[in-house]
Amino acid sequence: MSVRNVISRGMTLARSVFQTCFGKPAVRVAAKVRGEGFRVGPPVHTVQPRTFLPSHYRHYRTSLSGLAAQLHSGSFRRMFGSPRNRAVFLAFGLGVGLIEQQLEDDRRSTAACQEIQALFSKKTFQNPLKHFTSGYKLEDYVIGKQIGKGCNAAVYEAAASFAVPRESRTSSLVRMKLGSDDRQEDDRELRNCSVTDYPLAVKMMWNIGPGSSSDSILSAMSHELVPAGPLALKERNGAAVVDGYFGDVPRRVSAHPNVITLYRAFTAEVPLLPGAKEEYPDVLPTRLNPAGLGRNHTLFLVMKNYPCTLGQFLEDSLPCARTGSLMVLQLLEGVDHLCRHGIAHRDLKSDNILLEFDSGGNPRLVITDFGCCLAERDCELKLPFNSRWVNRGGNSALMAPEIATAIAGPSVVIDYSKADAWAVGAISYEIFGQPNPFYGRNGLDSSRYQEWQLPPLPHYMLTDTQVVVKLLLRRNPKKRPSARVAANMLHLSLWGAQSLADRDIGSTKEMADWLLCRSAVALLTDRYPNGSTVEMELQKSFLSNVTLEELRTSIAFLLFGREKHMFQSGFA
């Protein structure tokens, strides 16, 4: 065999080894997505950058450089003096050099991701009450009309008494009822005006179970405090102080543009607010209604006043394809933020999502109402299900299949890590003008449905958004992307379409270059007066959480979903 043939065979062998281990990581993972054994687990964050060398070869990583040096040393050439042997080892040395280069690219790209994370994770969101030391009593607020009511609380518009609405700085605690002429005005214009005059909302919880003491109230309603800001509660030695009592608060979530923030939380005597005797007489205390079942004291939560809920907005509005995709992306970013804090909402629905508009007119979605959430400090999105009396939580219609089908047993544990992401997939139908497939008498049962039974999505939707929604509604959580991976897929679709179409972004270098470009755009746009738009908030959220491994997994899911969508469309 000639020396040329030996070198050729050696290079072919080295190239095949290199491609198997490193070539087109996204394509390799996409191939795994098609197999039954593919699983996308929660991200593993380690101090050292992770490389993508197969696990059974990684212990050779530190010696690759030394091996390459030995292959070129004079002693090695003397030991294996045959030209044929030297040619074989030369080809192998070239392959090792390629592997070492890929490892170096991975290390640099991982370091770049970590620097981008560190830069954008410093971005904070402002609390309008952070400069005030008051606001921990009901008397500190001017209460307006009722703007919402649920199964366990009523919500009223409000303003801080130290910043009374400009229309009446001598207003009493309770705003006077509107006259008949005012009621004839357009409801939406009145609501928008009300948000301006009363920028806050006060949520009064209905206390019919626990006692009137602050510690019993806090113990029973502590999950409502999960989105409480750092100054929402008076604290002492890490414990919440409410009217002098101490109580343990579950996990707390940091501020995020797509998660509600509680500005203040306190207990107070239940007042007689407008519409109370007509809307919720049974939960009033006996001093206000002799037939009432409520306690004298309850919990009050102060938050931003939003114009409407997502459900109210969708009653007479249909977002365009891009706006709808941005709305789905916001929900995924909010869910991912909760998951990173070890919190599962467990009651996601359009009525528990608030909505406002940014300076450009785009809807901004905010997840609210954490009364059913899983946020215990000793669990990581997992709930021991050892008895049928254990509460699975929330909305049974939008309960993910792995939650709905769980059977109680001594060693059964329910994993909620992808349950809220599944609910986002179901809500996406509503966002794009379709009935929620799991609602109504003829709706699907989340515990028994098959994926082929899901109704078709509107054709005007972006193809990649359809792909994401279909993947989110997979029954098997192992084949379902996490909220982070699904959000990355939409980020790539909305802002990396050209690079992904060319499949250049599958390489480590191109991926890092694209991330640096997005970072530069986000930083430059942030300097403009109108920079705090929904799109910029989404990109900052993405960049503050980006990891190389999750990004590669997202590319793999997206490529796989596109191929499957094209195949199904060809037979439609």
| Confidence bin at 246 (pLDDT 50/70/90) | very low
143 DSSP β-pair partners: 158, 174
Domains of the chain, residue spans:
1-120+496-572, 138-305, 307-458
* The token pair that represents 134 in the structure block: 């008051």
Residue 529 has pLDDT above 70, yes or no: no
pLDDT value, residue 276: 94
Mean pLDDT rounded to a whole number for the chain = 77
Q: CATH second-level architecture of 307-458?
A: Orthogonal Bundle (1.10)
Task: Name the active-site residue from 106, 215, 347, 420.
Answer: 347
Q: What is the distance, to the nearest Å, from the Cα of residue 455 to the centroid of all Cα atoms in its chain?
A: 25
pLDDT tens digits, 325-335: 999 999 999 99
3-state percent helix, strand, coil for the chain, nearest multiple of 5: 45, 15, 40
Between 232 and 256, the more confident residue is: 256
From 84-88, 354-358, 561-565, the region with the lowest mean pLDDT: 84-88
Any idea which residue has 């806050």 for tokens? 200
**Is 366 exposed, middle or buried, given 0-12, 13-18 or 19+ CB atoms closer than 10 A?**
buried
For the domain spanning 138-305, the CATH number is 3.30.200.20
Q: What span, in angstroms and rounded, lies between the C-alpha atoms of 65 and 289?
A: 81
User: What is the structure's pLDDT at 130?
Assistant: 58
Burial of 20 (0-12, 13-18, 19+ CB in 10 A): exposed
Question: Is residue 173 pLDDT above 50, yes or no?
Answer: no
Report pLDDT digits (tens) over 175-189.
Answer: 333 334 443 444 444
**Fold matches, 138-305 and 307-458:** no
pLDDT one-digit tens code per residue, 348-389: 999 999 999 998 899 999 999 999 999 988 788 999 999 989
Residue 347 appears among annotated catalytic residues:
yes
Lowest-confidence segment of 91-105, 280-294, 427-441, 468-482 by average pLDDT: 91-105
> What are the pLDDT digits (tens) for 484-526?
999 999 999 998 866 655 555 556 667 777 777 777 777 777 6
Q: What is the pLDDT averaged over residues 385-413?
A: 92
pTM: 0.76
> DSSP string covering 346-364, please?
----GGGEEEEE-TTS-EE
